[in-house]
Amino acid sequence: MSPPLITVVGSVNLDFVATARTLPSPGETVTGATLARYPGGKGANQALAAKRLGAEVRMIGRVGADSMADEALALLRAGGIDLAGVGVDASAPTGAALLAVAEDGENQIVVASGANHAIRPEHLPAVIDGALILQLEIPFDTIEAAVARATGFVCVNLAPAAEIPQAILDRADLLIANEGEADFYGPKLHKGDGLVAVTWGSRGAGLFRHGARVATAEPPEIVAVDTTGAGDTFVAALTLALLEGQAPKEALRFACAAGALTATRAGAQPSLPTRAEVEGILAR
Ligand code: RIB
């Protein structure tokens, strides 16, 4: 069987990560951190996660005409993602994210979208075949256009939470939200006919249809180092597992394990697991 084709339309960022003992409260200064830079962005993370787990992946996005772009795209390029749909916009810098990561792996993220906000509907192909994954770090009219042009399975990761047209929620075959995002959307999350996955961090995730729970899974026990990218891995893994025809419970277990593995390592893209790693931890 040939690997499923997934197109990701979404954000590409360079992450600047300060790791400290605790996260700052509003107005507080935390000292003693170490600084690192990693390729990130929810779209790019989901694209690379899907590829490492076994999909054929095309990325559509926008970066600036600057040196951050090369750094932000380096692991996608090395990972064999089709980047023909990633354009360069001279009017804005490459997207950047400032992350604070605490000892227990929790994080806070501030995103400076830059060129991610320059992805317009005209940058999309007329028809998007195969499966499509979207998140909410790019303009909503571009998301709407991508959904309208998709001929196959559509997954929308509702992160970060934002008011989006109900038509997007209704068309999605799979909506994915964390606890806070699920609270933000409330009952309208469950109005469509697609599946809805809600993640509960280290407590696992549930899969729902029309508001009724169809599956629940827990992640394997891990020691969290940095949770950045765990949600993105979950999105890619659940989409791929469902495309492969895995049963809901099995697909959710696969996605929880993939997300958990991501949290065991530092950085977004360097920590994305391979298929063999996920199958290995599931077999334990
Ligand atoms: O989901 C994690 C990602 O969110 C980070 O890589 C950061 O770039 C932000 O987009």
Q: How far is the CA of 16 from the centre of ligand 1 (A)?
A: 10
Q: Is 72 in the pocket of ligand 1 (CB under 6 A)?
A: no
pLDDT at 169: 95
In this prediction, residues 258-283 reach a mean pLDDT of 97
pLDDT at 284: 87
Q: How far is the CA of 235 from the centre of ligand 1 (A)?
A: 13
Distance of alpha carbon 166 from alpha carbon 12, whole angstroms:
25
Distance of alpha carbon 14 from alpha carbon 18, whole angstroms:
13
φ, ψ dihedrals at 242, nearest 5°: -70, -40
Q: Is 114 in the pocket of ligand 1 (CB under 6 A)?
A: no
Per-residue pLDDT tens for 129-139?
999 999 999 99
* pLDDT tier, 280 (very low <50, low <70, confident <90, very high otherwise): very high
Q: How far is the CA of 212 from the centre of ligand 1 (A)?
A: 30
- What percent of the chain has a predicted confidence (pLDDT) above 90? 99
pLDDT at 93: 98
Per-residue pLDDT tens for 229-269?
999 999 999 999 999 999 999 999 999 999 999 999 999 99
In this prediction, residues 32-36 reach a mean pLDDT of 97
Q: Is 192 in the pocket of ligand 1 (CB under 6 A)?
A: no
**Please, which residues have CB within 8 angstroms of residue 218's CB and are 6 or more apart in sequence?**
203, 204, 256
Give me the helix-helix angle, 248-263 and 275-283, nearest 10°.
110
Q: Domain 5-13+41-94+113-283 belongs to what architecture? A: 3-Layer(aba) Sandwich (3.40)
Distance of alpha carbon 13 from alpha carbon 52, whole angstroms:
19
Per-residue pLDDT tens for 50-61?
999 999 999 999
Does the pLDDT of residue 116 top 80, yes or no?
A: yes
Q: Is 13 in the pocket of ligand 1 (CB under 6 A)?
A: yes
- Do 161 and 141 form a contact (C-beta atoms < 8 A)? no
Does the pLDDT of residue 1 top 80, yes or no?
A: no
Q: How far is the CA of 1 from the centre of ligand 1 (A)?
A: 32
**Quick count: other Cβ atoms within 10 Å of Cβ 34?**
10
pLDDT at 42: 98
Per-residue pLDDT tens for 207-220?
999 999 999 999 99
Q: Has 232 been annotated as catalytic?
A: yes
Q: Is 111 in the pocket of ligand 1 (CB under 6 A)?
A: yes
The answer to whether the Cα torsion of 140, 213, 230, 237 is positive or negative is negative
* pLDDT tier, 115 (very low <50, low <70, confident <90, very high otherwise): very high
Q: Best substitution site from 8, 13, 234 to test ligand 1's pocket, by max atoms within 8 Å of Cβ?
A: 13
Mean pLDDT for the chain? 97
Per-residue pLDDT tens for 147-187?
999 999 999 999 999 999 999 999 999 999 999 999 999 99
The closest residue, in CA terms, to atom 10 on ligand 1 is 41
Name the residue ranges covered by the structural domains of the chain: 5-13+41-94+113-283
Q: How far is the CA of 97 from the centre of ligand 1 (A)?
A: 7
Does the pLDDT of residue 11 top 80, yes or no?
A: yes
Q: Is 14 in the pocket of ligand 1 (CB under 6 A)?
A: no
In this prediction, residues 274-280 reach a mean pLDDT of 98
Closest CA to 76 of 105, 114, 109, 47: 47
Is this model's pTM higher than 0.85 or not? yes
